[in-house]
Structure 1
């Protein structure tokens, strides 16, 4: 996604031309804002912002079980999260919170106050024997700085990992929009994407958009069967196949192949975490979602699928098979 390899490097006219880069970024900002407004008015179901460092998935209200606009960012770094905090963007780390709840649930039935009392008691005992030996002054208790450093180390350790996925909801997504438009680090300074704004991927047209064709290759081979040989057809599609397209292809194959086909899928790994189930405050009515997103450009069955709460977690579909109109899949 981004610049053609043939145009990369020294031949890129924009890599060293700041004026041209400013024009590209200005046009990109208009396109990005246009796409967000379409999402806000529910004329666009979702779209991706693909930078050289991370990917963002914006979803319209009603998709993935949420009643507000959401944005998932993956992978993130401590620097990015701090920058977002400084801009007043409220966000959560769904996987970190989830792990914390699991740890809390797995604790014994001891109450919080009792645990705290035991912790304090243990700490006092650990220093009391040092006092008896007369070396308590030589042993330093953990200070605020060391505790903070340990916390920061933990935050840095999850950088670039699935656990670093960030969830932004509601009006904070608009603040995120402005943050991204003004964020200079979105643009790569070297490599094939040097000087280029991030790529916007959307299932619908938007201001400044262009339609790109994916590469497709079909192969026909003969395979051995009980009664001799039979023809087997395969279709290989290379490029960013978006969720609605995958669902449309499966519906097409279901009817054209008499309910029997299989598909192997290769996911862009950093985006697999977008399949997590975000916290849902209120379950929306199915009919309401269909009515509000009726003009978003998706097939009703596809819309029904994408409006459901995700169940794959941090994994993604790897293999889909239909036999006698019954689906089987692996992640």
Structure 2
């Protein structure tokens, strides 16, 4: 077979391929005609002897090939070569004609004649094998220790001094434990409904035994708290847990009318419509109700001042007032928050000499002033070149520009007023009509003040001795009682976590239900506990503290907030104090609840909507 320089040894010219095909066809015909037995037994259908697997390529003995059961020889590609048909899972034993020729020449010179088969890997296989060896060599070099090859890991002296730069693998992500939040922020808003859900059963919280209910009520009246076990195997059989749960449901209310639900009071006309209200047309009865209510309110404030009551709520048909004892929310004095308010109520409080503040309005004002100051600072930096860096010159120019702007505003107002009065001049009656200067200014001011009415921004903060004046104002103010409608003549509702004069003991309603929630393609049993009523902040905290061990640290709660009280978490007290400055150990609450309520709330003007505990760690949404 002739060869030409530049061609692969396995490459065949087309003429040679056709000659080889004709020769192969003749050999196949001779082998088939020479073995009739093989044809009769079906072996003639197999591949004939010395048939290449592809062309070009080496010849294989038929004994080494597996006999196929197909009919006829498979068509082969005459222009294929070994490189583009190489399979990594197979090795081909071929004749290397070049090496065979060299070895034959050497052996001929030495007098030895032999034929040698060599196993040669095609070019693509050799390339892959070389890449694998290079990769293994690089990996082995990279995985050397410091002691094996110090030159590979040369470091500067500064890097050796810094342990963080010396050994980064020492700080593994798995070694940093996720933060565990064991407490959620204080929420001073009133809740109307809370729905607890847990994968474990919550049926232990309903239908208490008579003895357990009695023990819970007795513990509440005596302000005694029995901590349940830290690990509870069966919550339904734990008597201490069930007694403590009944204790956490108790609250005190005045007035108490069994046929009326006296909370909520704002926008609750439907709940009062059609109900018996004998006081609505009886003045003497209204006077009696207000007199008892005044005594109860005075009793509550006295308890609050003596730190025997931590807080209480006053819920009228127009607004809600939250009184907090000194030491709560980081304040060193008694505070009161009123929301929502109107311009008339604020003017009446000013007339009584009650000093108050609008926290949200002041905060908005401060943010605006800060933005203006930043703009002025930026302008001052830009104008340093024009005034030569002299602060006195800049100040004079600023004063002049402010004076000019004020004069321009006055001129603009005068021009606007002249334009407004021009039509009167045309009619000739401008002397008979007075210019509405003072009236327009007053209307503008009133528009700004009345725009806050019935909004969260209208919340009012009263601190210190002014809270006592506020109590007297609420007792004597006629606007706290509706004069018409379904709530006419009915005093506001007083809610407290501890007993006070004229109060009636009430308990929240708890109901447990097993439901199925969809998880993926199936359903999972989920136990739920619904608590309804005026849920105070301390009651919510006490219930969650009991669910923590009972549900193995896994439960969630959906909180439904009484909208007017959501802003009660805003508190910007002027008299800040540490949590340990005021002793509230005798206020009648659980010590953990007191510690939570002593810290200032971080919720701002929002309230908690969802609370989730997973693996004894809290997460929440507001």
Taking structure 1 as the reference length, the TM-score comes to: 0.89
Q: How does 1:1-331 map to 2 (within 5 A)?
A: 4=260, 8-9=273-274, 11-107=276-372, 108-109=375-376, 117-125=400-408, 138=418, 143-223=437-517, 231-284=525-578, 286-289=579-582, 292-331=583-622
State the 1:287 CA deviation. 2.7
State the 1:190 CA deviation. 3.2
Q: Which moved more, 1:165-174 or 1:104-113?
A: 104-113
CA distance in 1, matches of 2:412, 2:568: 51
Cα 1:127–1:256, aligned 2, differ >3 Å: closer, same or farther? closer
Deviations 1:55-99 (A, max 9, x none): 000000000110000000000000000000000111111111111
Structure 2 unmatched ranges of 5 or more: 1-252, 262-270, 381-394, 421-434
CA distance in 2, matches of 1:158, 1:137: 28
State the 1:310 CA deviation. 1.2
Deviations 1:270-308 (A, max 9, x none): 110001132343322x3333xx21100111111011011
State the 1:186 CA deviation. 1.0
- Report SS of the residue matched to 1:11: coil
Taking structure 2 as the reference length, the TM-score comes to: 0.49
CA distance in 2, matches of 1:30, 1:136: 57
Residue 33 (structure 2) aligns with: none
State the 1:191 CA deviation. 3.6
State the 1:230 CA deviation. 5.2
- Report SS of the residue matched to 2:357: coil
Alignment check: 8 A CA contact 1:127 1:136 kept: no
Structure number with larger C-alpha Rg:
2
CA RMSD, aligned part only?
2.9
CA distance in 1, matches of 2:514, 2:296: 41
State the 1:215 CA deviation. 2.5
Alignment check: 8 A CA contact 1:9 1:191 kept: no
Cα 1:146–1:215, aligned 2, differ >3 Å: closer, same or farther? same
CA distance in 1, matches of 2:500, 2:413: 70
CA distance in 2, matches of 1:128, 1:35: 57
State the 1:34 CA deviation. 0.2
CA distance in 2, matches of 1:10, 1:225: 45
Alignment check: 8 A CA contact 2:295 2:501 kept: yes
Cα 1:144–1:136, aligned 2, differ >3 Å: closer, same or farther? closer
- Report SS of the residue matched to 1:218: strand
CA distance in 1, matches of 2:488, 2:311: 26
Alignment check: 8 A CA contact 2:305 2:325 kept: yes
How many residues in Structure 1 have an aligned counterpart in Structure 2? 325
Relative contact order, higher structure (CA 8 A, sep 6+): 1
